[in-house]
Amino acid sequence: MTVDLRVKLSDMHLKTPLILASGILGLSARMLAEISKIESVGAVTTKSIGLKPRDGYPNPTIVVLPYGFINSMGLPNPGVESFLAELDEAGSFDSPLIASFYGYNIDEIAEVAKIIARHQAVSALELNVSCPHVSGISEIGFKPELVAEAVAKVKKCIDKPLFVKLSPNTHLVVEVARAAAEAGADGVTAVNTVKAMVIDTELCRPILSGVYGGLSGPALKPIALRCVYEIYEEVDIPIIGCGGVSSYLDVVEFMLAGASAVALGSIIALKGVEVFGELARGLSKYLERKGIRSVREIVGLSHR
């Protein structure tokens, strides 16, 4: 039996449900174009882009733990105009390119969205209102009414699908997803990293120069999975599951919880892009063993 791994996300057609998450290998447009050509890659996402260039924080910006990473890069990016110039030079994309972006207020968010959406290589946008440690970002993403306002304004300025990347650092994750959906978002990405920190016991001070960072990797997975499950129960909107996926069974779990596609982050940083092929093969074998022809059939199946 040959199984079908293709999924549809809003108006995008993905060869597989496996997406490169934002922040992983996504600062170079050329690298993203290369990754988009890998057979088992469904879509690729850029590092979050803002209106103006940002240096990010000085080192140390990442701590490796037995159960994941805590990273605090500080949203380094070249700014939207330079990033689009880089995209011009990057060559073609063989799977959809999702542009992650942020702004410090609603007008700025809409301005960045308008500029990014004009580029023909960009298939969809992902609004980052959930970076856990750069001030001014989660402050928007924690408030359903502000997220609704941002989504409505962005949707007026662009004619491409808009996803909202949600924060797990609020008890209102379902309410924020609902607000995004009602304001016209085409999907949500659940979830961004959990706000976290590490302290050096010799120096008696926080290790990360930004003090706080975002926890990703295996420790995040059950939290992210719970968020996807809760959103699927309550809100009728496509979900990209994201958080600590490291095996094909994690992909299956996210899809059973209600994700239409799954984004990979820490595992790619750890093991490289070969993981896409590994997970796609595992997913196919799982479906074959279960006698399921299309991966689309398992989306939300655990809610019966």
Catalytic (active-site) positions: 131
Bridging pattern class, strands 239-242 and 205-206: unpaired
In whole angstroms, how close is the CB of 277 to ligand DHB at the nearest point? 26
Rounded-to-10 torsion of CA 5, 160, 185, 30? 60
Q: Is 214 exposed, middle or buried (0-12, 13-18, 19+ CB in 10 A)?
A: buried
Residue 272's identity, in one-letter code, is G
Taking the least distance from each CB to ligand DHB, the nearer of 131 and 256 is 131
Taking the least distance from each CB to ligand DHB, the nearer of 132 and 258 is 132
Taking the least distance from each CB to ligand DHB, the nearer of 210 and 300 is 210
Pair 172, 25: CB distance under 8 Å = no
Binding site for ligand DHB (CB under 6 A): 23, 71-75, 128, 131-132, 192-193, 214
C-alpha atoms less than 13 angstroms from C-alpha of 164 in its C-beta half-sphere: 37
Taking the least distance from each CB to ligand DHB, the nearer of 73 and 267 is 73
In whole angstroms, how close is the CB of 62 to ligand DHB at the nearest point? 9
Residues 6+ apart with CB under 8 A from 242: 21, 165, 189, 190, 191, 192, 224, 262, 263, 265
Location of structure tokens 């890659």? 41
Tell me the CA end-to-end span of the chain in Å, nearest whole number.
26
Taking the least distance from each CB to ligand DHB, the nearer of 162 and 298 is 162
In whole angstroms, how close is the CB of 53 to ligand DHB at the nearest point? 13
Q: Is 114 exposed, middle or buried (0-12, 13-18, 19+ CB in 10 A)?
A: middle
In whole angstroms, how close is the CB of 71 to ligand DHB at the nearest point? 5
In whole angstroms, how close is the CB of 207 to ligand DHB at the nearest point? 14
